[in-house]
A and B are shown apart, each in its own frame.
Chain A
Amino acid sequence: MLAALVLLVTAASLLSPRFLTLPNLLNVLRQVSIVGILAIGMTFVILARGIDLSVGSILGIAVVLFAGSMDRLGMAVAIPIGFVAAAAAGAVNGIGIAYAGIPAFIMTLGMLSFVRGLAFIYTGGTPIPINSQQFYELGNGYLFGVPIPALILLAVLAASGFVLGLTPFGRSVYAIGSNEDAARLSGVPVRRFTTLVYVISGLMSGLAGLVYASQLSIGTPIAGQGYELDAIAAVVVGGTSLFGGKGSVGGTFLGTLIIGVLANILNLTGVDPFVQQLFKGGLIILAVLIMSRSGRR
């Protein structure tokens, strides 16, 4: 996967002299931060052999809640409100799947529509502008010369890598994804941990919503529509198996970068927007093809 990224970056720097400049690379990092954060949350879910189609909608509800409360109540209150809603939606997903036995695909598909409806009701369909300068800085500012959203993405990556690799919970996520019955028999609290996985995905959606709202200074009820598919694509390109148990957040990060660099270079070289979609689709299929080959060896 790293080889693919290196190849793409080499090709990109040959195609456009402006690709390999620091401002452009920092732009790419910022551009991928929203989907990257969603994809890391999605990795937890897919590793546990689930799927979460509601991440884009949960991002949307968090965005409108941040926007609706930011100027009235201030950052310190507004941010928790959005996160509580996002975590609650994730918890409902998790409980429905782990305890009520609803298939993840169906549960989160329902949640996708339900939460999007809430976002439309909350806003009345009209975007809510955010005027807080401090909040704008969060999405658009720099720390140590790196865009803050990119730093958030890297922090999330490090924390998730630690949780998945080095904690009993993380190892259990892999165990649940490989063989749920075996995990249960060996004493893993499967239901509780499955619920937790969807709560994490919900929280990540909330965090991605925070980046979205602060970057764009607007709370629109259509925020994040279709992002669930971008997140799943990043996870898959990053080498995580849709059948659970195999993969890593590091891979997802690389997958996110590959898709992001591809979009960037297509824009830099001025490829027709109609044609850009062909590249993106082709890349996803190619990545999975290469992976299934290497898996068989």
Chain B
Amino acid sequence: MRKILWLAAAVASLMVSQARADEKLPVTGKTCTELQAFYKTLPFTDILPMPAGPVKVSGKPSDLTIGFSQTGFNHPWRIAMLAALQAEACRHPNLKLVVLDGNVDVAKQSNDVHDLLTRGVDAVLLSPVESAALAPAARAVMAANIPLIVMDRDVPTDKTLFIGQSNVTMAEGVAGKMAKDLGGKGNIVVITGLKGSSPAVDRDQGMKNVLAKYPGIKVLATGDGQWIRDPAVPLMEDFLTTYPKIDALFSHAEESSWGAELAIARAGRCKDHIRIYTFDGSNAGFKAVKAGTFQADGNYTPYIADIGLRAALYALMKKPIPGEKTYRFPGHELVLPDSPVVTAANADQWIGRGWGDFEPTADPCRK
């Protein structure tokens, strides 16, 4: 028993000595030094600006703990969102982050939020898996009288602030570009994000809003690409088999678009020049737009979590949040400007300002 205690003490002291300066932060694996440089590239640092340095909140001890309950870290978009949060946190030495992974499970995430409350965090940042299911957890945060900042997907209950971009208007932008390119008529197929998830529902709604104005554009078929690559391949294969003439693909996720492009190449249909309109806003996606693989990429940025943290700090310091408005749900909303849809015309300007540092898949139609 004593041996075990010694061992534990040794391990603990080793861990403490490592937890200094260039400690790698969880999940992203980035150090604060790396994140400081990255912070300069973030798109929205001028919204709720905040100088670097310790944050003082009257009536609180000098150290602040902020909890972040993320949907899950199963997608690089979600990890990029955390990186923005960590980058902001690194600027304020007296801030401590507690980051929890919801595993894309509403029950797990609901428990996570309650765990954050148990740990006595000073504010909660929440990016919910699904809006309605996280409402009770959101109520618990508000009942504990601490700021609740909801990001990306909303909850229909009271909150301090909701921050997000609109998937509906973004999809209208992408679909508008598609309708223009097609000259108002043609046959399209749709590969959605995970069926029932709110961004998939909203992107579909945005597309339908636009298509209502273009009766000449016909949706031949719709399938569920689940945001990822592998389900999109058989879907697109089967669409290609069924329909000899497809003019465009409207695909909710870049990953699914890559899968569809693979299917197009394999089916020997590259020469059909099926136009691809997609979303996600990664640097790889922007490069693919520049290369002509995608005609448009909805610029849905994950770099909003730094604003979320600043909003939480504003709330703790009782500073007014400029630009916040009441809206259809209880609480306030901060509407972010829609980033322009990235097309061949502005791709150069956006490469490097998207998320993710991985390269696009080699386009099988352009080898």
Contact = CB atoms under 8 A, between A and B. Distances in A.
Contacts of B336: none
Contacts of B360: 129
A120 B103 CA distance: 12
B79 A125 contact: yes
Nearest to A132: B362
Contacts of A131: 362
Nearest to A272: B222
Interface in B192-227: 192, 195, 220-224
Nearest to A260: B234
Contact of B262 (A18, A128, A215, A267): A215
B93 interface: no
A147 to B, nearest CB: 8
A126 B74 CA distance: 9
A69 interface: no
Contact of A270 (B29, B195, B221, B258): B221
A124 B26 CA distance: 10
B129 interface: no
Interface stretch (B162-170, B236-244, B293-301, B343-351): B236-244
B235 A267 contact: yes
A272 B229 CA distance: 20
A80 interface: no
B358 A125 contact: no
A178 interface: no
Contacts of A27: 234, 237-238, 241
Contacts of A129: 358-362
Which of B229, B239, B255, B360 counts the most A-chain CB atoms under 10 A from its CB? B229
Contacts, number: 95
Contacts of B356: 126
A129 to B, nearest CB: 5
A27 B240 CA distance: 11
Contacts of A267: 221, 223, 234-235, 238-239, 242
B228 A124 contact: no
B56 interface: no
Nearest to B74: A222
Interface string A196-218: 00000000000000001001111
A136 B364 contact: yes
A131 B367 CA distance: 11
Contacts of B235: 267
Nearest to A142: B266
A140 B262 contact: yes
A126 B221 CA distance: 30
A274 B195 contact: yes
Interface residues of A, number: 35
Contacts of B79: 124-126
A171 B179 CA distance: 63
Contacts of A212: 230
Contacts of A274: 195
A270 B29 CA distance: 43
B229 A218 contact: yes
A292 interface: no
A223 B242 contact: no
A24 interface: yes
Contacts of B221: 267, 270
A146 to B, nearest CB: 13
Which of A127, A220, A274 counts the most B-chain CB atoms under 10 A from its CB? A127
Nearest to A273: B224
Contact of A217 (B75, B195, B223, B262): B262
A23 interface: yes
Interface string B172-198: 000000000000000000001001000
B156 interface: no
Contacts of A21: 241
B141 interface: no
Contacts of B364: 136, 140
Interface of B: 27-29, 73-76, 78-79, 192, 195, 220-224, 228-230, 233-235, 237-239, 241-242, 255, 258-259, 262, 265-267, 356, 358-362, 364, 367
Interface of A: 16, 18, 21, 23-24, 27, 31, 120, 124-129, 131, 133, 136, 140, 212, 215-218, 220-223, 263-264, 267-268, 270, 272-274
14 contacts: A124-B28, A125-B27, A126-B79, A127-B255, A127-B358, A131-B362, A216-B230, A217-B361, A220-B229, A264-B234, A267-B221, A267-B235, A267-B239, A267-B242
